[in-house]
Chains A and B, each alone.
Chain A
């Protein structure tokens, strides 16, 4: 019943972090980023000491990503990096981009994918900062929408909404039957839709593929979606490179997703496997940017981390307890 324990831990943590983020947001926007940054040390130390679930999940992941047994310092650095991304998110949302360095690489790939005017999907992961992409998206010639859960975010999403009222307009909510019809409409208008494609929620739409040395469940839903819409798939990573320094990186993935009627399952598994491979490469290069603080390799994700009801059935498990607040508002 370890899954149950982890989920009740995450619920508690998310409740606690709502108040914490409200406080941090208020304080750091008033007193400045360096003050908020200094406070991240005691905050990270607190989570390091009292969040056994996060510590264990971090260690299991880092062992694989670093290719050696992770030390306590590695785990602390992992938690600290997550805290930094949360702090930066407040500033990026508030539009306080001065002193931030956001480099964009591979923009050509994105431009090539949208050059026909047909839109494209951007696949990311719970890795680095989604907000860095959004900061880029504000100035992009093409509108960038984000497909994500909002329903369970509560106080947290209210804070984020207050920081940037435009946030709501760019979000397509997952969890209603017509969510993907909205995605189709955006694509038809030639827009871009960002999707986090690393978390599974239902076994019917997941495939076990090699990831950092062991089979892990990856969702196939995003590829079904790309195939149905007939759009190019581009990958993106909002990598934290240092203090107030991000790289928004675009990589080509597929010009067309073709799902042959006869061998659909194999084609989907192949695509999920290729995606997992690309994500693995990023995890090895930037190991501390990974923000799935739960047992990612659990064989039956839906059972290992019980998520509430029908919401858990959809594209990505962002509603699942244990989801990182930075990427699941």
Chain B
């Protein structure tokens, strides 16, 4: 079943905006712009809130000791790809 449900960048962008209470619209998040630091400017508290939201919405659990984290969190596009590959709901 996994990897067969389509996950759009727009719906993940909407989740980011909602979960982090950002004052912007989902369309304003560029797919390839960095989410952390420069770019969208998220920090690690945002990362935690995002991780909790991803777990609730998609059943995707992010681990703190996962070496892939920098890549998963790199951009909206990479995050969407990770969700698509690992979602359980």
Contacts and interface: CB of A to CB of B under 8 A. Distances in A.
B73 to A, nearest CB: 5
Contacts of B43: 202, 205, 221, 313-315
A177 B35 CA distance: 10
A267 to B, nearest CB: 12
Contact of B37 (A178, A183, A225, A310): A310
Interface residues of A, number: 26
B49 A177 contact: no
Interface residues of B, number: 21
A8 interface: no
Interface in B34-72: 36-38, 41-45, 47-49, 51-52, 62-64, 66, 69-70
A180 B45 contact: yes
A177 B73 contact: yes
Nearest to B66: A178
Interface string A185-207: 10000000000000000101100
Interface in A281-316: 309-310, 313-315
Contacts of B66: 178
Contacts of B70: 177
A229 B48 CA distance: 9
A310 B34 CA distance: 12
Contact of B44 (A180, A229, A264): A180
A193 to B, nearest CB: 12
A228 B45 contact: yes
Nearest to A224: B45
A221 B47 CA distance: 12
B51 to A, nearest CB: 6
A205 B45 contact: yes
B45 A221 contact: yes
Considering residues A174, A177, A202, which has the most beta carbons from chain B within 10 angstroms of its beta carbon?
A177
Contacts of A228: 45, 48-49, 52
B44 A224 contact: no
A183 B36 CA distance: 18
Contacts of A264: 21
Given A264-B21, A310-B37, A313-B37, A181 B45 contact: no
12 contacts: A178-B64, A178-B69, A179-B47, A180-B45, A181-B63, A204-B41, A205-B45, A221-B45, A224-B49, A225-B45, A313-B41, A314-B43
Interface of A: 174-185, 202, 204-205, 221, 224-225, 228-229, 264, 309-310, 313-315
Given A178-B66, A179-B47, A225-B45, 4 more contacts: A181-B51, A184-B51, A202-B41, A202-B43
Interface of B: 21, 36-38, 41-45, 47-49, 51-52, 62-64, 66, 69-70, 73
